[in-house]
Amino acid sequence: MIAPVLGVLVMRKDLSKEGVVATLGFFGFIGNLLKIAGFTLIGFSFEQYGLVMLCMVPAAIVGTRVGGAVLSRMDERYFIIAFRPVLFALALKLIAYDGLMRLAA
């Protein structure tokens, strides 16, 4: 999960809310392509997860449409007010749950 790190770097005054979301989406896309390449190189079999991945396609399309509709109706100020706590929560989860809890286990 790299969104909290990238989110902080992308939040700039010269980017609109659509620019922020598009930039994060692009980096997410590139990250997922790299994961696919990496898993393929180590011999992961995607075949047994084909049905699950196929079901993810309509979910991604619906999520993109709903997210786009919400984003287009949201004021720029409220986007920043909502975006920062979400980034904070994701960063906290990344540090506390994914980091410290795994070290303790």
> Residue 41 in contact with residue 55, Cβ under 8 Å?
no
Distance CA 73, CA 35 (A): 33
Q: Whats the size of the chain, residue-wise?
A: 105
| pLDDT tens per residue, range 69-88 | 999 999 998 998 898 898 88
Distance CA 78, CA 50 (A): 39
Is the sign of the CA dihedral 17, 21, 24, 26 positive or negative? negative
Between the alpha carbon of residue 47 and those of residues 33, 37, 51, 59, the distances in Å are: 17, 15, 8, 20
What does the domain layout of the chain look like in residue ranges? 3-104
Task: State pTM to two decimals.
Answer: 0.77
What per-residue confidence (pLDDT) applies to 79? 92
| pLDDT tens per residue, range 17-71 | 999 999 998 998 999 999 999 999 999 988 899 899 999 999 999 999 999 999 9
* CA torsion angle 6 8 13 15 (round to 10): 20
What per-residue confidence (pLDDT) applies to 93? 87
Count of CB atoms situated within 10 Å of the CB of 7: 20
